[in-house]
Amino acid sequence: KNQVEQSPQSLIILEGKNCTLQCNYTVSPFSNLRWYKQDTGRGPVSLTIMTFSENTKSNGRYTATLDADTKQSSLHITASQLSDSASYICVVSGGGATNKLIFGTGTLLAVQP
């Protein structure tokens, strides 16, 4: 069964600290893996997208890693800001004609002053 699991479910950190969110997937075939940020009451916004051959990709203070062998990904946030408080969703595309996306349940991050 195609699944995407994320941990932790929720996380509280102090402003300025770093954090790492985890994503494990069992999706086959695999096309690409994306990390999205979703603010409360808003649609998801893409942070990174990685294909099979990419190990790491950065977008400002966000750095995503991908290990296609172990089917794991992480999202590292550096020097967190209050505006980073949001839900972070790991999404895997199984490829094919429809490119259906398989969503993780997300990690709810709260950055406190």
Partner 1 sequence: GAVVSQHPSWVICKSGTSVKIECRSLDFQATTMFWYRQFPKKSLMLMATSNEGSKATYEQGVEKDKFLINHASLTLSTLTVTSAHPEDSSFYICSARRTEISYEQYFGPGTRLTVT
Tell me if 41 contacts partner 1 by CB under 8 A. Answer: yes
Phi-psi region of 45 (alpha: psi -120 to 50; beta: other; left: phi over 0): beta
One-letter identity of residue 81: Q
Q: Which is nearer to partner 1, 65 or 106 (CB)?
A: 106
Q: Which is nearer to partner 1, 53 or 98 (CB)?
A: 98
Distance CA(13)–CA(85), nearest Å, equals 10
Q: Which is nearer to partner 1, 31 or 78 (CB)?
A: 31
Q: The tokens of 10 are what?
A: 């929720």
Residues that bind partner 1 (CB under 8 A): 31-32, 36, 41-46, 49, 89, 93, 95, 98-101, 103-106, 108
